[in-house]
Structure 1
Amino acid sequence: MRELLDAVADGTLSPEQAEAELNGYVTGEAGRFDAARQSRRGIPEAILAEGKSDAQVVALAETALETTDRALLTRVNDDQIDALRTALAESVPDATIERRGTTVRVLGPDFDQPELEATVGIVTAGTVDKPVADEAEIVCADAGATIDRVDDVGVAALSRTLDQVERFRDADVLIVAAGREGALPTVIAGLVDTPVIAVPVSSGYGHGGDGEAALAGLLQSCTVLSVVNIDAGFVAGAQAILIARAIHGS
């Protein structure tokens, strides 16, 4: 305790960092940020931007940077990105902002990029699945895994799926995103001995077109796979990293 107080007093530790050390979280006007989740769970807390104001997104991102030297944000819109860039240009001018679709990673100047000797294959059935796959990808990249991304190999033209089977088999873990009837993950899972995490995507027409048909089909899969919720790219990415670490003992 005295060391923390001395560090705050001499300026080597901010009050936010000290609070994170003591409580595991930091409380601000925008809510509580779980700064200890990385050390406790192996995956950092992500800031869900959807439903939050620009100011709340900025505040939480700055808290994340202050306490963990990086921020992961999901479901970010253009206005929130603009607000984040403007604010960080003043508060953390050396920060690096990486964006994939609606998912953003912000790295502070002292961030130490981890390395994970594992390959995560990320596969999409079609273009509409890419934003969900992007969310999974940025989580896996943040953990230091090698990403092998294979897009647009849906089963409507099965030859394009079969052409990539060897790449699927080379991965340590596979994340497969598909909408409509959700067929692609079940097909791939029947061709490989790699753990497959299926992500149903909210695409399609009419009945079940909001991802429920894909979810139901994947839950009933006769091939062995794991299924996350509709559009849950972050969860799929986090689960893939935990599996990859278990495989490689890291």
Structure 2
Amino acid sequence: MDIQKILKQYRAGEIDLTAAEENIRSMGFLAVSDIAKIDTYRCKRTGVPEAVLAEGKKTKDLIKIVRAQMESNGRVLVTRVSKKKLKALQSEFEFIENGKSASVCIVHDGKTKRKENGGLVAFISAGTADISVLEEAKMTAEEMGCQTIEIYDVGVAGYQRLFLEADKLKDAKPDAVVVAAGREGTLPTVVAGIIDAPVIGLPVSTGYGAGKSGQAALLSMLQSCSVISVVNIDAGFVAGAYAARIANRMEKLRRK
């Protein structure tokens, strides 16, 4: 429900002034029994949809929250989904989309289509082990209306692979680039040095040894000598949403 609908209901006499005030004050917050209050109005307010984090939730609670969000908005992004919880979602909902990673999915009603805003975001992974987190970022940007291009497995251990793909990026002219890397996390710095677009470094918890769990990648990106932004370790949703906000704002400026 949005403000215009509430005001039209009040003007038509369908609700009284007190009910209209209560609806506006609580607008966008939907209580799911006693376990959650989901923000169904977030996308309209900020441009970023509310994703449902599956990790740490009981399966039955996850299903309730996903159903409430989907019934409100028609589509819902679910992140960090285990195989067990994905099977549970697939048994409860008819329409589920997966990308290249089973750990993120879109649950929808089969009717509500993803809107297209026109912005373009590129997604680059250093290795194939980074694709799972990068796919979360990509699907987030797509849900926010962006077109996407992907370039996988071009880490600096074989830097010629990146240079072979660099022309593709230059020709596409993306509005933002998300670069996922584990290990020493060098790739975002290299990409930012050759591409004329904002680069978002996405450190990934691949790798082992002294800099395990993505810590070395995070610190390396924070110390980058190129100009980049950096999100937290494995924060695919944040990286994708930030890139999409840049791309969507650029598209609005182009349309003026």
TM-score range, shorter chain: 0.7 to 0.9
The corresponding residue for 2:18 is: none
Q: SS of 2:206's equivalent?
A: coil
Cα deviation, residue 28, structure 1: 1.0
Q: 1:226 aligns with which of 229, 244, 247?
A: 229
Q: Which residue does 1:77 correspond to in 2?
A: 82
One-letter identity of the residue aligned with 2:29: Y
**CA shift for structure 1 position 111:** 1.0
For residues 149-169 of structure 1, give each alpha carbon's deviation from its aligned partner in whole angstroms, at most 9, with x where no partner exists. Answer: 000000001100111112223
Q: Deviation per CA, 1:70-123, whole angstroms, max 9, x where unpaired? A: 11100001211121122224xxxxxx2101320010122331321121221100
Cα offset for 1:3?
A: 2.3
Residue 62 of structure 1 is matched in structure 2 by 67
> In the alignment, which residue of structure 2 is the partner of 1:164?
165
Residue identity opposite 2:159 in structure 1? L
Whether the aligned pair in 2 keeps the contact of 1:20 and 1:35 (CA below 8 Å) is: no
Aligned identity (percent) is 38
Task: Name the SS for the 1:105 alignment partner.
Answer: strand
Contact 1:19 1:26 in 2 (8 A): no
2: CA distance, partners of 1:183 / 1:134: 19
Which residue in the other structure is 2:46 paired with? 41
For residue 189 of structure 1, what is the amino acid of its counterpart?
A: A
Higher mean C-alpha displacement, 162-171 vs 97-106: 162-171
Does structure 1 residue 53 correspond to structure 2 residue 58? yes
The answer to whether the 8 A contact 1:200-1:229 is kept is yes
Match of 2:19 in 1: none
- What's the counterpart of residue 3 of structure 1? 9
After superposition, the C-alpha distances for 1:26-48 in whole angstroms (9 at most, x for unaligned) are 01133111101000110110000
The runs of 5 or more residues in structure 1 that have no matched partner are 10-17, 90-95
Residue equivalent to 2:104 = 103
**What is the root-mean-square deviation of aligned Cα atoms in Å?**
2.2
How many angstroms does 1:21 deviate by? Answer: 8.9
Q: CA deviation at 1:195?
A: 0.7
2-structure distance, mates of 1:20, 1:97: 32
User: Where do 5+ consecutive residues of structure 2 fail to align?
Assistant: 1-5, 16-21
Contact 1:42 1:242 in 2 (8 A): yes
In structure 1, what is the Cα distance between the partners aligned to 2:227 and 2:141? Answer: 22
Establish whether residue 24 from structure 1 lines up as the match of residue 28 from structure 2. Answer: yes
Q: Structure 1 pair 109/23, CA: closer, same or farther in 2 (3 Å)?
A: same
Task: Please report the TM-score for the alignment, with normalisation by the length of structure 1.
Answer: 0.88
- Secondary structure (helix, strand or coil) at the match of 2:194 reads coil
Other-structure match for 2:114? 113
SS at match of 2:89: helix
Q: Which amino acid aligns with 1:242?
A: R
Which ranges of 4 or more aligned residues in structure 1 deviate by more than 6 Å?
6-9, 18-21
Preserved CA contact (<8 Å) 1:197 1:236: yes
Maintained 8 Å contact 2:76/2:107? yes
Number of residues paired by the alignment?
235
Contact 1:124/1:154, CA 8 A, preserved across alignment: yes
CA distance in 2, matches of 1:21, 1:153: 49
Classify the secondary structure of the residue corresponding to 1:208: helix
CA contact (8 A) 1:178 1:200 kept: yes
